[in-house]
Amino acid sequence: MLRCIAIDDEPLALAQIASYINKVPYLELVGRCHGAQEAHEILQQTQVDLMFVDINMPDLNGLDFVRSLEFPPKVIFTTAYSDYAIDGYKVQAVDYLLKPFSLKDLEAAAERARQRIESETAAYGFVPQPTSAIEQDGFFYVKCDYRITRINIDDIHYVESMGEYIRIFVEGQSRPYMPLLSLKRIEEILPTDHFMRVHRSYIVNLRRVTEISRQRIIFGDVQIPIGDSYKQTLLDHVNARLL
């Protein structure tokens, strides 16, 4: 599933693009934006794989918006003006849809984007190391936001499942890292002596837990639910250390 946003200042055009995206099985529309500022806010908050970007917009045109992003998602430009095509490819756009375009046109462009993303993910989605090396070195690498990032295991507070992605909350980072990984995969490489699955959607670093109260694990202002099937294992851990 590719997470998408559509950006167009014309409401009817935006509604049409959104309708097309919703008809493509492997596309998930996570944002409808009337301008670059709305799109930028979404990109700050969530992982986006693909953007459908109108070029002619009043606040900031689509080309300049994409150029302003340090690590942009894949881009498919949409516009009524064919003379922008060369500029679009200069910013490595996957495709260029000339309005009015059909669902078939969008599907063909989306498929090109999917093939490119899958190819890159296969090459760089996760930098593998033997589990023993990860445990010994105390860190691993993930690819997110189109860069490879090192994460120190001891700095992790907790990990949350988000479908095909996970969110890794790390000490000193205001935003979580969101690599394309399963919770099962990250669980396999985290040391079991201080990381525990406490819910179908959460793994926590037990050394970072500050409080457990009313079926919740508390990390500052964040409360993580404890699943019934994981409750006893957690209680055993706590009771072994309870004074």
pLDDT per residue over 64-103, tens digit each? Answer: 898 888 778 899 999 887 665 445 445 678 998 999 999 9
- The residue range of the domain holding 133 is 126-239
Q: Write the CATH number for 175.
A: 2.40.50.1020
Please say which residue of 124, 150, 184 terminates a domain. 124
Angle, alpha carbons 93-96-115 (nearest 5°): 60
Same domain, residue pair 90 and 204: no
Q: How many CB atoms lie within 10 A of CB 127?
A: 12
Same domain, residue pair 131 and 111: no
Q: How many structural domains does the chain have?
A: 2
Which residues pair with residue 139 across a beta bridge?
152
pLDDT tens digits along 178-212: 998 888 888 888 888 889 999 999 999 999 888 99
Q: Write the CATH number for 12.
A: 3.40.50.2300
Predicted model pTM: 0.56
Strand 211-213 and strand 216-219: the pairing is: antiparallel
- The CA-atom distances, in angstroms, between 122 and each of 65, 125, 171, 173, 228 are 28, 6, 29, 27, 36
pLDDT the model gives residue 84: 54
